[in-house]
Amino acid sequence: MNRRVYIIAALIGICTSLLVVTLFSFVLKSKPTKQENQAYFDVINGRYRIYALPLPDQLEFAGEMVPFDDTDARERFDRELLVNVYWHSNTLLSIKRAYRWFPIIEPILKANEIPDDFKYLAVIESGLTNASSPAGAKGFWQFLEETGTSYGLEITDEVDERYHVEKSTYAACHFLKDAYDRHGSWAMAAASYNMGMGGLQRQVTRQGETAYWDLLLNEETGRYVYRILAMKEIFNHADQYGFVIRPAELYEPYRFQTISVDSSISDLAVFAKQQGTNYKMLKVYNPWLRENFLRNKERKKYEFKIPQ
């Protein structure tokens, strides 16, 4: 009797397993529609397959054509495209954040006659966050203290305008203008932003070349403009590279009112409550405030964003 029960149970188990395998195989073999899966990977016969990415026929950065007839240029762009397409979480977050921050950055670039492509420089520098690097670079545009100060940003223990999106974007525009005036190329201006105008000029003199695409530069700067181009390509053709983000999932722009302050504030937590908010949100909207007080002995006028 026990043996018969065992055999029946075994047969039921085998039949169940066959049914599951059959259904699973059917699911795996059913090809997703174009709308369901635009990414260059799929699952076939139980194996996860990752595809190389087709490159665009041509590409331009700030009006300068990328020399795709140069094998090295194509391979450098291919590398950055692969890295950022398959770094799903980072790229998804950047696209979400761009919905909040590009409407602030784009008009400032335009007003200062800086090509719109440079908004992607902020993406690769910081992921559109107020990041802080091991070298001490800070904010969306990753200014070092010396450079930030030289371009008009206030940097003290209490106030650090590298974390002020609007003011740091204006400072970045001024740097890029100076770099363009020096090198006559927006790609070279972008490279200068990474390695400094003096460092890039030394390589121009050493190598006898004036175009970014023809220079042999350090690893980071050699990848830099291609990284910007990769993010531009992905942002402009997100569906093609498998990034599907519904409007409700984008990060909305902050809604706020602005108040002027030209006095000292002994306690920002108390001040925040007086404005109908709290300390956390005051700092979220005004990350350039670096302490929990503002001495402001010179009675300088500051603009505070107060959440609505």
**Which pLDDT tens digits describe the chain residue by residue (308 residues)?**
445 544 444 444 544 444 433 433 433 334 444 444 444 555 666 677 888 999 999 999 999 999 999 999 999 999 999 999 999 999 999 999 999 999 999 999 999 999 999 999 999 999 999 999 999 999 999 999 999 999 999 999 999 999 999 999 999 999 999 999 999 999 999 999 999 999 999 999 999 999 999 999 999 999 999 999 999 999 999 999 999 999 999 999 999 999 999 999 999 999 999 999 999 999 999 999 999 999 999 999 999 999 99
Alpha helix (H) ranges present in 48-87?
71-85
For residues 26 and 93, state if they share a domain. Answer: no
Write down the pLDDT at residue 7.
47
Domain annotation covers residue 200: yes
Determine the pLDDT at residue 42: 58
184 plus 303 within the same structural domain: no
131 and 208 within one domain: yes
Say if 109 falls within a structural domain: yes
- 245 & 289 share domain: no
Dig out the tokens for 238 from the structure. 């997100």
- Whether 261 maps to a domain, the answer reads yes
Nearest Cα to Cα of residue 162 among 298, 290, 251 = 290
What predicted TM-score, i.e. pTM, was given to this entire model?
0.84
222 located within any domain: yes
> Are 53 and 74 in contact, with CB atoms under 8 Å apart?
no
Please say which residue of 199, 218, 249 terminates a domain: 249
List helix spans (H) across 237-277: 268-274
CA–CA separation, 148 and 160 (whole Å): 9
Q: Which residues pair with 50 in a beta bridge?
A: 41
Residues 212 and 70 in one domain: yes
Cβ atoms of 3 and 11 within 8 Å: the answer is no
Spatial separation of the C-alpha atoms in residues 265 and 289, rounded to whole Å:
11
- To which residue do tokens 């790609």 refer? 187
Residues 21 and 18: their CA atoms lie apart, in Å, by: 5
| SS3 at position 104 | helix
Last residue of a domain, one of 50, 70, 86: 50
Is residue 196 located within the same domain as residue 107? yes
Same domain? For 236 and 268 the reply is no
What pLDDT was estimated at residue 51? 85
Q: Residue 156 belongs to what domain range?
A: 60-249
Does some domain include residue 12? yes
Give yes or no: residues 232 and 268 share one domain: no
Report how far residue 106's alpha carbon sits from residue 63's, in angstroms, rounded to the nearest whole number: 17
Number of domains making up the chain: 3
Residues 96 and 127 in one domain: yes
Task: Please indicate, yes or no, whether residues 133 and 271 belong to a single structural domain of this protein.
Answer: no
119 with 232, same domain: the answer is yes
